[in-house]
């Protein structure tokens, strides 16, 4: 059987898709393009209306180009609004997030068709793919899923459920397997990564996990995925500062620079606390990459509120920025709030913040000129990603998935 996996959204979805691909290959399936596959798995996101629309458009496009394909839809959109997807062309199964880890088991119980049933096999489901398969050089490892926070704009707690952490022993074993498979960089991710361990019967925490990674003996780089500002403690900053096993790279969503808007977003920090955290990281690691997310057009956002966000972003030593237009998610508190911002204003404000983000990235790249950074070769061997998250072009090809010392011009 030929398969294809298409992934929308966050790194947690990317990690889920890696596990699905490993399971498919262990059962004898062979990777193919969506136009040539017997089965396509679409792993959806639902963080915005645009994400929902993108999934629907992709499903229709696959069905047009491959009329005999059977499509399995999973992920947050399939969990939140299955009726939106059920009657789309060629959709054979919907698998909600709680069943995603056992997607093949679900399909064994309800087969696609006699001709497309998965082969029986004793291979380990979810075995790590070797580097380069499916176009991936770094391995994305999910250590936690679900979220107990209730940001007023976010639907994800309803699609991912309660926070659930993997035991540290299980994570350690999988890292050993991933390193043995040849991976040199591992991205640690979760829906609410900072809550790691709070639900485990044995005392555990994100700091304990990061300590384990910092002391890892094999020559592997761990990159910590997105962390909420309140979860990025002094201990974690110190661990990243002091260990060559941890990439000098943080992603810390701000979401807004006005304290009243943050309060209505139900974000448990202030702009001043966020500034202190970023300044602390930059002071300890001037070379570190520090990214952020912001939302424009949150209900009730006045021009003065937006200007405070823009002013704060100009002052912060951030290195890149993701800008999201506010999108009503039915079922969230924000969707019922008054004073919605019109679409034209949201687009104009988004353009202004993206321009600030462009300036951030340019400033950071220029600050790295003349430095030499450890980097992992990716793609065609003519590019590499540095430990501090710069993607650079190489003057001559190198084997993929190799450590090099890259001097930044």
Q: How far is CA 196 from the centre of its chain?
A: 16
pLDDT at position 110: 77
Burial class (CB in 10 A: 0-12, 13-18, 19+), 272: exposed
pLDDT at position 121: 44
Beta carbons of 7 and 13 less than 8 angstroms apart: yes
136-247: which CATH topology? Transcription Regulator spoIIAA (3.30.750)
Its CATH architecture, for the domain 253-367, is 2-Layer Sandwich (3.30)
In the numeric block, which tokens belong to residue 373? 């950074």
Tell me the C-alpha distance between 158 and 85, whole Å: 18
Which residue is it, tokens 């992992």? 376
Residue 391: closest CA among 322, 319, 323: 319
Tell me the C-alpha distance between 46 and 55, whole Å: 9
pLDDT at position 111: 74
Tell me the C-alpha distance between 41 and 4, whole Å: 6
> What are the structural domain ranges in the chain?
2-116, 136-247, 253-367, 372-407
Helix (H, G, I), strand (E, B) or coil at 386: strand
DSSP string, 119-187: PP--SPTTPPPPTTGGG-SSEEEEEEE------TT--HHHHH-S-EE--HHHHHHHHHHHHHTT-SEEE
In the numeric block, which tokens belong to residue 99? 């069943």
Helix (H, G, I), strand (E, B) or coil at 76: helix
Q: Do domains 2-116 and 136-247 have the same CATH topology?
A: no
Contact partners, residue 351, CB within 8 Å, separation at least 6: none
Mean pLDDT, 10 residues at a time, over the chain (409 residues)?
A: 93 91 89 95 93 96 96 96 95 94 85 58 51 80 94 94 95 95 96 96 91 96 97 97 97 98 98 98 98 98 98 98 95 96 97 98 97 93 95 93 95
Give the length of the chain.
Answer: 409
pLDDT at position 113: 64
Backbone phi and psi for residue 4, each to the nearest 5 degrees, phi listed first? -145, 145
2-116: which CATH topology? Rossmann fold (3.40.50)
Model-level pTM? 0.91
């Amino acid at each position: 059987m030929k398969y294809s996996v298409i992934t929308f959204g966050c790194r947690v979805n990317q990690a889920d898709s890696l596990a699905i691909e490993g399971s498919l290959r262990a059962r004898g399936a062979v990777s193919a393009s969506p136009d040539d596959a017997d089965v396509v798995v679409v792993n959806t996101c639902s963080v915005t209306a645009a994400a929902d629309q993108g999934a629907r458009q992709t499903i229709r496009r696959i069905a047009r180009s491959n009329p005999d394909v059977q499509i399995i839809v999973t992920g947050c959109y399939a969990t939140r609004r299955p009726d939106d997807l059920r009657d789309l062309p060629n959709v054979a199964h919907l698998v909600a997030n709680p069943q995603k880890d056992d997607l093949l088991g679900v399909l064994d119980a309800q087969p696609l068709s006699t001709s497309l049933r998965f082969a029986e096999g004793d291979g380990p489901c979810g075995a790590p793919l070797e580097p380069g398969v499916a176009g991936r050089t770094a391995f994305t490892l999910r250590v936690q899923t679900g979220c107990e926070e209730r940001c007023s704009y976010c639907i994800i707690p309803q699609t991912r459920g309660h926070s659930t952490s993997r035991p540290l022993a299980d994570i350690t074993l999988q890292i050993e397997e991933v390193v043995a498979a040849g991976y040199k960089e591992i991205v640690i991710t979760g829906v609410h990564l900072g809550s790691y361990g709070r639900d485990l019967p044995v005392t555990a925490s994100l700091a304990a996990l990061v300590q384990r990674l910092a002391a890892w003996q094999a020559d592997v780089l761990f990159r910590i995925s997105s962390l909420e500002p309140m979860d990025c403690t002094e201990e974690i900053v110190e661990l990243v500062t002091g260990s060559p096993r941890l990439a000098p790279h943080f992603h810390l969503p701000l979401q807004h620079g006005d304290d009243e808007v943050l309060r209505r977003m139900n974000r448990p920090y202030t702009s001043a606390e966020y500034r202190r955290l970023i300044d602390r990281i930059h002071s300890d690691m001037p070379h570190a990459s520090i990214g952020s997310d912001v939302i424009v057009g949150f209900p009730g956002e006045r021009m003065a509120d937006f200007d405070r966000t823009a002013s704060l972003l100009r002052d912060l030593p951030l290195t890149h920025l993701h800008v999201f237009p506010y999108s009503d998610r039915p079922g969230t508190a924000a969707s019922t709030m008054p004073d919605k911002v019109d679409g034209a204003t949201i687009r104009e404000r988004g353009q202004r913040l993206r321009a600030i983000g462009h300036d951030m990235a340019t400033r950071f790249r220029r600050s790295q000129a003349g430095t030499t950074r450890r980097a992992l070769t990716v793609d065609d061997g003519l590019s590499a990603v540095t430990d501090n998250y710069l993607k650079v072009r190489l003057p001559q090809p190198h084997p993929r998935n190799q450590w090099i010392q890259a001097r930044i011009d």
